[in-house]
Amino acid sequence: MTVPYRNKKIIGKNFESQIITLDKFKYILNKNIEMYVDIYKKSIFNIFKSSKFFRKAMIHKQDRFYKEYFFANSIQFYYSEIRTNRARPYLGKFYFLAEINDELEIVSFKGSYKEIDDIIDNLEVVTDKSIIKKIENSFEKIYQIKLRQPEQVYTDIYDDPDNFTTRKIKQEEITNISKLLALFVKRETINEVSKMLKNSELENETELIDKPDYLQIINIIIEETANKNYEFIVGLDGSFPLDEFRYIIEGLLKNNFFKIKLNNLYDEPSEFGIMGTEVFRDFDKDLKKEGLQLGFFDTQSDNYIMFIHKIDNREEIEKLSSKLGLNYFGSEEI
């Protein structure tokens, strides 16, 4: 979630602090560009840190216009209960250290939204000294983390083939993934997928050449079954059109011979696609009436891997997924 403005101008006064400075902000923004930062790990030993720090942050390098809105460079701070690597977090209270035209300010947004104007209309400049102190502590922690990071060298795998290699997917891996698929896919489809995987290859870093990578296998399945009449699992970007999402659900149902009347059609488009909406939970309400539900695998990114399965199989899917290094979750966790 990036912070939007109506104009390329902060809404308050330039924030001045001995801890939060413009040069440090830009250093954080440009050092080893990454979105998520863990300020500290959740454990019994860190139980008292919650009063001094935000646990997580997101770094947004933006400084751009989108339609009539301007998105600022920002660091977003939020509490530990909000997830980072699943659906983008749009519920709760969020704090942003934003930069526009070399000026800094701290703003907050509380609640949920479906339209970008909802955020802009509810943005507030933060004046609470305790919150500012917590942001200063968290900012300094992020800065120290960045200082300790070695510079990353980005190379194209094709420019340096010694860094990567490929290998055939092992029969053991095909068997394991087939056992998982059997919990939410027709037997005929599993047979088709197994044949396809025997002719597919995994990319591996040289030091991890024999390590199974079931998330990569899932992504291969998604790519190879896309738009086929047996497509049963999909990968969706957060910008996927909201008013077309029902067709994805209908396709997954049809391919597994489920017949359900969908009441939540979401006919109206959204500026931001499916992200930040209730679309998953709303469609789940219809599915659960028939003993079905949406399931998701954590992608380690802002994308969604989604499928439909019987509610009765959830516990078994969670257990087997965990054994394969896949993190399963339901729509209630988005």
Count other Cβ atoms within 10 Å, centred on residue 52: 13
Confidence of residue 91 (pLDDT cuts 50, 70, 90): low
Confidence of residue 194 (pLDDT cuts 50, 70, 90): very high
The strand pair at 4-5 and 73-78 is best described as: unpaired
Instruction: Tell me the per-residue pLDDT of 125-142, one tens digit each, with 9 for 90 and over.
Output: 999 999 999 999 999 999
The rounded distance, in Å, linking the Cα atoms of 71 and 269 is: 21
- Quote the pLDDT of residue 90: 47
| Stated pTM of the model | 0.54
SS3 169: coil
Q: Which residue has the higher pLDDT, 41 or 35?
A: 35
The DSSP secondary-structure symbol of 324 reads T
The rounded distance, in Å, linking the Cα atoms of 304 and 294 is: 11
The rounded distance, in Å, linking the Cα atoms of 177 and 198 is: 12
Q: Which residue has the higher pLDDT, 284 or 111?
A: 284
The rounded distance, in Å, linking the Cα atoms of 42 and 153 is: 30
Q: Is the pLDDT of residue 255 over 70?
A: yes
pLDDT (mean) for 316-320? 97
SS3 257: coil
From 231, 138, 135, select the one nearest 186 (Cα to Cα).
Answer: 231
Q: Is the pLDDT of residue 49 over 80?
A: no
Least confident of 10-19, 71-80, 292-301, 307-316: 71-80
287, containing H or E segment: helix 279-288
| Bridge partners (DSSP) listed for residue 236 | 304
